[in-house]
Chain A
C-alpha cells in the first residue's frame, strides 16, 4: 500500500494538495461574511458578556433566538481532568447557554457524539462539563446513541450517498458549533467545521468514525457541513492546542473567542490566528465558494484585529503537515 492510501485508510489526509473536486467554478468573492474576534485572557473572565457583545456586533440578538431551540455542539474529545487544551471549556458552553437564554431561546441543548470514548457520562464527568450542565440546567443529548434519520448528502464530495444524522438535529432550530482551537494531525486544523464530525452517530459510523476516514476526511467535513448547515460558530481559543492535536498536543494560550455565522469564514480566521494559511488546509480550500469565504478580502473582521493576536502554533514535523504555513 502506498503512503497516501495508508494515510487515507487510517484516517489521515494530507492537509495540503488533496485533490478535492475543483472549487474554481464557485465564486469565493460572492460569499462574504463577518467574523468577530474577542479577547478573553482566561476562563474566569465574564465570558457571557464577551459573547453577548460579540454576537451583538454580528447583528445577532433576541429576534433570531426568541422561542427557538438552540443546540450547542462543543468539542469533547477525551475524558481528561487535567488538560485544558483538549475539550471546549465548560465555562464557554455555560456562557453561550446563558446568552441564548437571555435572548429568550425556548430551550438550549448541549449535544455531542464524541469520536473515541463511547461513555458520554464519563467524558462529561472528566471534562468538567457535567456539573456545569447540572448547575445551568442544560439538557445533554448523546448524539452517538440517538435515533437516526438518513438524509441525502447535500454536497457529494465524498462517496457517501446519504448521511445518517441524529434526530435531535431536527429538534434544533439553531445549531451552534463550539470547537476548541486546535491543530489536527490528520486534517491540519480542527475548528468549527471539523467539529461537526461529532454530530455523526457512532452507532452508524463507529468509534473512531472510521467510515468518514475511509470516505475522506476533508470530503466528509464538507459534506457534513453542507448537509447539517449549522447557523453559528463560537470557537474556544482561550487556551488552544498546538503540536500533536487533537488529543496529545500541548496547550497554547491564545486568549481569543472567535465567532460568526459562516463556518468557513470563522475557521479561516482561526487558522490565521494560528499562523496557518487556510488555503493550504484542504477542507477549507474546498469550502471556499461552496460553503463560504476564506479569503481575507471577503471576510469582514470585527472586534480585535488579527495581526497582533497571531501566534504560530507548532505543527508536527511530518510530511503530511508541511506546507500549512504558506
Chain B
C-alpha cells in the first residue's frame, strides 16, 4: 500500500463527527456529500488495506445517509436542510457500491428520474448570440426549478448508470446535455459554453466529471468531445495540486484509460500539500477515489 493512502484513510476517519458522518469542515455539521464521498473514498481502498477495519465506519456512514432519505426518495444536503436535494445521486452511488439499502436506492433513483432542469425555449437565432448552449435540452439542476447544469447532470447520469438505468431516455438526454456543453477548445466548465459569443474557459473538475459521465453512456461510443478533454487534462493537471480538481481530473482520465504514470505522484503530492486542513474531507476522499481500485463509477474503463 502506498504510504499516503494509509495516512489519508486514518485522517479521514478522524474527521468524522460523533454521528459517524462527515461535514465539509471538521468544525461544521455533517452533510450528505462529504459523507458519501468519504465512505466511497475509504471503500475504494479495500484491495490495498483490510476492509474490516473501515467497513464499520463506511456502513455507519451509509446508514446515516439512509436516515435522511425522505418519503419521496430524495435526500437533502444535510439533516437541517431537507432541500435542495442535488446530493441524492451521491447517496445512490455509495449504497450501490456497498450493495446495501436496495429499496432506498430504488426510491432515490425513481425520484432522480423525475427531476428536470428547466428548459428555456427561445428563438434559435438568439442562441449563439447570447448563450452558446442548447437551452431546450433537459438535464438536472442543482436546485429544483432552475436550469440544467453540468455537474448535477453528470452526477445523475453516474448514479442512474450504476442502478442499471443507462438506457433510460433521461440518461440519454443527459448525455446530450453533457455533449452540448463541451467547449470547443476541449473540456467543460460548470455548464456555460459561451456568452455573447465569447468561449468560456474549461475547468479540470467539471471536465473529469463529464468524462466519467460519458464513459457511463450505454452506446459505448467515443464522443468527439472526449479526446480534446483528455488533452486539456493532460496539459493542465501536471500543475494542479488542489485535491478536488486534481482528483476529478484523474478520475476522468482513468475512465478513458488515459492516466499517465505521473498521476500517482500528483495525487501523493496533493495529499502531502493539503493534509491537515480543516476543510480537506472532500479532497481527501476524492484523492483516495482517484487512487483507489474502484474509480468511482466506471465499471469498464473505455479504450
Chain A contacts to B: CB under 8 angstroms: 1, 3, 6-7, 9-10, 12, 78-80, 116-122, 124-125, 142, 145-148, 185, 202-208, 210-211, 213-214, 244, 247-248, 316, 318
Contacts and interface: CB of A to CB of B under 8 A. Distances in A.
A95 B195 CA distance: 34
B204 A122 contact: yes
A71 to B, nearest CB: 16
Interface string B163-193: 0000000000000000000000000011010
A3 B122 CA distance: 8
B190 A9 contact: no
B292 interface: no
Given A119-B244, A203-B31, A205-B142, 13 more contacts: A1-B120, A78-B201, A116-B189, A121-B283, A122-B242, A145-B31, A147-B28, A185-B195, A185-B196, A202-B142, A204-B77, A207-B142, A207-B190
A119 B189 CA distance: 12
Contact of B151 (A1, A118, A213, A318): A118
A247 B200 contact: yes
Contacts of B151: 118, 207
Contacts of A204: 77, 81, 84, 143
Contacts of A117: 189-190, 203, 205
Nearest to A205: B143
Contact of B196 (A1, A79, A124, A244): A244
Nearest to B150: A207
A10 B130 contact: yes
B196 A316 contact: yes
Contact of A206 (B25, B81, B149, B274): B149
**Interface residue SS majority, chain B:** loop
A121 B147 contact: no
A306 B246 CA distance: 45
A121 B131 contact: no
Contact of A121 (B86, B135, B192, B244): B244
B118 interface: yes
A211 B131 contact: no
Contact of A118 (B123, B243, B244): B244
Contacts of A142: 24-25, 279
Contacts of B244: 118-119, 121-122
Nearest to A130: B242
A122 B25 CA distance: 17
A80 B145 CA distance: 31
A142 B282 CA distance: 13
Interface in B119-160: 120-123, 126, 130-131, 135, 141-143, 145-147, 149, 151
Given A118-B205, A244-B198, A248-B200, A206 B141 contact: yes
A125 B242 contact: yes
Contacts, number: 125
Contacts of B25: 142, 145-146
B205 A211 contact: no
Contact count band on B? 35 or more
Smallest CB-CB A-B distances: 8 pairs: A206-B142, A122-B242, A145-B24, A210-B146, A121-B242, A122-B245, A119-B244, A248-B198
Given A10-B135, A116-B189, A122 B205 contact: yes
A105 to B, nearest CB: 21
Contacts of B33: 203
Given A119-B205, A146-B28, A10 B147 contact: yes
A210 B196 contact: no
Contacts of B131: 10
Contacts of A125: 240-242
Nearest to A148: B81
Most buried by B among A211, A244, A318: A211
Contact of B120 (A6, A79, A80, A116): A6
Contacts of B272: none
Given A148-B81, A244-B198, A318-B196, A121 B274 contact: yes
Contacts of A202: 142
A248 B147 CA distance: 22
B7 interface: no
Nearest to A6: B122
Nearest to A124: B242
A79 B142 CA distance: 21
Contacts of A214: 145-146
A201 B94 CA distance: 25
B29 interface: yes
Interface string B35-50: 0000000000000000
A281 B41 CA distance: 48
A185 B283 CA distance: 33
20 contacts: A3-B122, A6-B126, A78-B201, A117-B203, A118-B151, A118-B205, A119-B205, A120-B279, A125-B242, A146-B24, A147-B29, A147-B78, A185-B196, A206-B84, A206-B86, A206-B146, A207-B149, A207-B190, A208-B149, A248-B200
B146 A1 contact: no
B81 A244 contact: no
Contacts of B204: 122
A320 to B, nearest CB: 8
B80 to A, nearest CB: 8
B43 to A, nearest CB: 22
A5 B45 CA distance: 49
Most buried by A among B146, B192, B279, B283: B146
A203 B77 CA distance: 8
Contacts of A213: 146
Contacts of B282: 145
A83 B274 CA distance: 25
Contacts of A205: 142-143
